Amino acid sequence: MPQNEHIELFHKRFGRRLDYEERKRKKEARSVRRVSQKAQTLRGIKAKLYNKQRFTEKIQMKKTMKAHEEKSSRKKADKPVTDGAIPHYLLDRETQSRAKVLSNMIKQKRKEKAGKWEVPIPKVKAVSEMEVFRYAPKRKEKAGKWEVPIPKVKAVSEMEVFRAIKTGKRKKKCWKRMVTKVCFVGDGFTRKPPKFERFIRPMALRFKTAHVTHPELRATFSLPIIGVKKNPSSPMYTSLGVITKGTVIEVNISELGLVTQSGKVVWGKYAQVTNNPENDGCINAVLLV
């Protein structure tokens, strides 16, 4: 027997106390209160670690209970569905919509990742520049270059976007600002020392992905954000990466497997934000096709 198992050896030779089982049962019954008290009084990193441990324990317990419930419950065996059977509420619809076809095409292209599209017209007659372009006198450039879903957006004031932070020993200085709207911060961003940081962008308001809807596919994808192209309210918001309603962002669409006519994968495309991200907790956008 190993040297450190002397307690087990003692139990084997002489047994346990007569009230051992009763004491053990009572101790386990009282442990619930002790655990609750510990969870309420712990602070800091210890509390975080303890709560994480309790969280995993509860999940495991729920899984076990669910498994027991499924084991005890009785279910009817599913009847085999005949081929071609359609519910009555789907009889007036087409069997396969165009969006479904395009969605399946995209899934196929994802597998190929860089496969060329099979175009319906493989050979096209070259068009001269004279046919394509016509001379026009120079005019003032319009503010919007794309046909965006939301052409006019209400400007967001600095009072809404920024909150003044008082600093210094006597809290007299007021040159720092905290951003109160959702913003995008790139992976290569290096934060300044907190003492010299003028604009504070909270971690909870930094978003990396957006729910982008393709207008032709009628399908929504969760795509990573590359950058903020233009915030219509102010150039300063654009430089800070503030995302409000009407902001044009650049998203990575390489997952969709779209390719150009020359066979190159399309990496980035612009999309316009259609909701108020700070209220909804997510960024919804429409792809600018």
Q: Among residues 59, 75, 103, which one ends one of the domains? A: 59
Q: Which residue has the tokens 């317990």?
A: 61
Indicate the residue among 59, 74, 95 that finishes a domain: 59
Mean pLDDT to the nearest integer, 106-131 = 60
Quick one: pLDDT at residue 92?
A: 60
Q: Which of 38, 59, 80 is the last residue of a domain?
A: 59
- Give the SS3 label for residue 186: coil
Residue 75 inside a domain? The answer is no
Highest mean pLDDT among 93-107, 137-151, 240-254: 240-254
Q: Which domain holds residue 227?
A: 158-287
Q: Number of structural domains, the chain?
A: 2
Residue 233: which CATH number? Answer: 2.40.10.310
How many CA atoms within 13 Å lie on the side-chain side of 87?
Answer: 2
Average pLDDT for 233-239: 94
Q: Is residue 71 part of a domain?
A: no
Look at residue 123 and tell me whether its pLDDT is greater than 80.
no
List pLDDT tens digits, range 241-285.
999 999 999 999 988 878 888 878 888 999 999 999 999 999 999
Confidence grade of residue 141 (pLDDT, cut at 50, 70, 90): very low
Specify if 97 maps to a domain. no
Q: Is 214 helix (H, G, I), strand (E, B) or coil?
A: strand
Q: What's the rounded mean pLDDT across residues 36-48?
A: 95
Q: What is the pLDDT of residue 76?
A: 62
The whole-number pLDDT of residue 142 equals 47
DSSP code, position 257: T
- Please report which helix (H) or strand (E) contains residue 248, including its range: strand 248-252
Question: Does residue 12 form part of some domain?
Answer: yes
- pLDDT by residue (tens digit) across 152-186? 888 899 999 999 999 999 999 999 999 999 999 99
Residue 72 counted as domain residue: no
Spatial separation of the C-alpha atoms in residues 210 and 281, rounded to whole Å: 11
